[in-house]
């Protein structure tokens, strides 16, 4: 709920939010980020990985990794505990998308992850030519509950080994663009949060139709973006000042007379978010 305090001559808007339930989204650390160096010249067989953790319990359905060069032998993906214990593995015999792209290889079943616990996501390629941005993980990278940890927190990050074993070597805090497909199992479901700019709009009693009252930015509390739409829910307000939503902006209805007829009164506006 957000309350906009208007001056004595204008309307007081009480904004109520009604959000439909949503399915838990698949979250990633790097999204669709593109590396500066998509394919290094090194063509040796190598396992590349990232040390990461989540602030929420969840499950990992597979490993994602950016490829700027194709592989004739496919890829092997692995999920490790921080001590090197293998938790899951899977194999793809060819590229899963048109390179350059984010490949994804899924496990036979999702792997549960504990909150605030370090894991290593990795993939093996026999032909090298991997993505690598030097110093890309010096400060780490976070998205929602997921974090690729800053190098000084874990004795170095990204990790590699020129074998199929557990990757535990580091070089210049390089980001090899290895990621996870993660779904939160936090018992507290994410909720929708609305922010308003300005948060307390001052609406003059003679404001003309089409005046922008405030810009509404919706987002889920776990950091993932809201991709649905905002609209007025019942009961629709139709007395005196009339309002509408356009492109996430709350505006005085362009077809209406402004708010002079309702100056100094309290107007209740219900906003419904639909996915």
- 203 domain-assigned: yes
Report the C-alpha gap between 258 and 235 in whole angstroms.
20
Q: At 146, which CATH number? A: 2.60.120.820
Q: Please indicate, yes or no, if residue 30 is contained in any of the structural domains.
A: no
Residues 58 and 169 in one domain: yes
- pLDDT digits 0-9 by tens, 41-80: 999 999 999 999 999 999 999 999 999 999 989 999 999 9
- 59 and 159 inside one domain: yes
Query: pLDDT per residue over 241-259, tens digit each?
Result: 567 777 788 777 666 555 5
Model confidence over 113-171: pLDDT tens digits?
999 999 999 999 999 999 999 999 999 999 888 999 999 999 999 999 999 999 999 99
> Which residue, of 184, 206, 233, is where some domain finishes?
184
Report DSSP letters for 98-139, one per residue.
Answer: SSSEEEEEEEEEEEEE-TT--EEEEEEETT-----BTTTTSS
Q: Are residues 50 and 179 in the same domain?
A: yes
Alpha-carbon separation of residue 47 from 14, 102, 112, 162, 176 (angstroms): 55, 17, 23, 6, 10
pLDDT band at 28 (very low <50, low <70, confident <90, very high): very high
97 vs 240: which has the higher pLDDT: 97
0.85 surpassed by pTM: no
DSSP state of 260: G
Judge whether 106 lies within some domain. yes
Does residue 52 belong to any structural domain of this protein?
yes
The answer to whether the CB of 124 falls within 8 A of the CB of 115 is no
Q: Is residue 62 located within the same domain as residue 170?
A: yes
Number of domains in the chain: 2
Domain residue limits at 121? 46-184
Q: Are residues 140 and 232 both part of a single domain?
A: no
């Amino acid at each position: 709920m957000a309350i906009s305090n208007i001056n004595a001559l204008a309307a007081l808007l009480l904004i109520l939010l009604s959000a439909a339930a949503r399915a838990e989204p698949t979250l990633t650390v790097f999204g669709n980020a593109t590396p500066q160096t998509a394919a290094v010249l090194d063509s040796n067989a190598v396992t590349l990985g990232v040390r990461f953790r989540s602030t929420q319990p969840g499950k990992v359905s597979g490993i994602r990794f950016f490829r700027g060069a194709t592989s004739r032998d496919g890829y092997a993906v692995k999920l490790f505990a921080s001590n090197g214990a293998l938790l899951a593995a899977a194999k793809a015999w060819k590229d899963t998308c048109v390179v350059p792209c984010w490949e994804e290889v899924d496990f036979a079943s999702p792997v549960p992850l504990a909150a605030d616990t370090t894991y290593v996501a990795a993939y093996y390629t026999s032909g090298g030519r991997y993505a690598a941005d030097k110093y890309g993980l010096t400060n780490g990278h976070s998205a929602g509950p997921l974090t690729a940890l800053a190098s000084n927190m874990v004795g170095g990050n990204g990790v590699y080994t020129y074998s199929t074993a557990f990757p535990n070597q580091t070089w210049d805090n390089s980001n090899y663009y290895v990621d996870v497909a993660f779904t939160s199992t936090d018992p507290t479901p994410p909720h929708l949060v609305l922010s308003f700019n300005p948060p307390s709009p001052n609406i003059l009693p003679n404001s003309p139709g089409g005046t922008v009252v405030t810009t509404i930015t919706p987002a889920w509390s776990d950091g993932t973006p809201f991709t649905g739409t905002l609209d007025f829910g019942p009961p629709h307000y139709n007395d005196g000042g009339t309002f509408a939503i356009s492109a996430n902006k709350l505006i005085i209805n362009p077809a209406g007379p402004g708010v002079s007829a309702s100056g100094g009164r309290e107007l209740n506006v219900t906003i419904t978010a639909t996915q």
